[in-house]
């Protein structure tokens, strides 16, 4: 969920009306309810639907199997990822993440799902 509405999502939302009219109605209602729930839970946070939500409706309307969605979404980002890598290589600064590890201690095996 993004803080501002992605202009690509707006275009895909319109495309979905033609590509999958029934699914568009369901998706539009789902979007409306989800955003209301998010707003009620966090009124101080702006929330907006991401581009992949509406892309999935268009892809469904085009007859693309759901199993290919992740590949299609990743492929559409390769140019951006590549640009980030090239920028990083031109700078060669050491990246020091501000995140802290919250996973299991090194050497400990995670609990089996059934025991969690």
Three-state secondary structure readout of 3-22 = CCCCHHHHHHHHHHHHHCHH
90: which 2 tokens? 């031109």
Q: How many domains, the chain?
A: 1
The answer to whether the pTM exceeds 0.85 is: no
Asked, for residue 112, whether it belongs to a domain, the answer is no
pLDDT of 38 strictly over 80? yes
pLDDT of 14 strictly over 60? yes
pLDDT of 95 strictly over 80? no
Backbone angles phi, psi at 20, to 5 degrees: -155, 75
User: What pLDDT, on the 0 to 100 scale, is given for residue 5?
Assistant: 86
CA distance 114 to 116: 6
- State which residues form the domain around 30: 7-79
Asked, for residue 103, whether it belongs to a domain, the answer is no
pLDDT of 63 strictly over 80? yes
Give the residue-averaged pLDDT of 27-47.
95
Asked, for residue 20, whether it belongs to a domain, the answer is yes
Asked, for residue 102, whether it belongs to a domain, the answer is no
Bigger pLDDT: 115 vs 17: 17
Asked, for residue 59, whether it belongs to a domain, the answer is yes
Asked, for residue 2, whether it belongs to a domain, the answer is no
Backbone angles phi, psi at 48, to 5 degrees: -150, 155
User: What pLDDT, on the 0 to 100 scale, is given for residue 2?
Assistant: 60
Asked, for residue 23, whether it belongs to a domain, the answer is yes
pLDDT of 77 strictly over 80? yes
């Amino acid at each position: 969920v993004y803080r501002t509405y992605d202009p690509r999502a707006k275009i895909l939302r319109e495309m979905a009306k033609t590509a999958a009219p029934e699914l568009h109605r369901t998706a539009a209602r789902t979007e409306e309810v989800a955003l209301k729930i998010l707003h009620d839970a966090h009124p101080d946070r702006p929330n907006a639907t991401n581009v992949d939500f509406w892309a999935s409706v268009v892809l469904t309307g085009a007859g693309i199997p759901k199993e290919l969605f992740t590949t299609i979404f990743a492929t559409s980002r390769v140019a951006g990822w590549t640009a980030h890598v090239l920028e990083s290589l031109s700078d060669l600064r050491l990246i020091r993440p501000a995140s802290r590890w919250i996973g299991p201690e090194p050497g400990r095996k995670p609990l089996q799902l059934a025991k969690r």
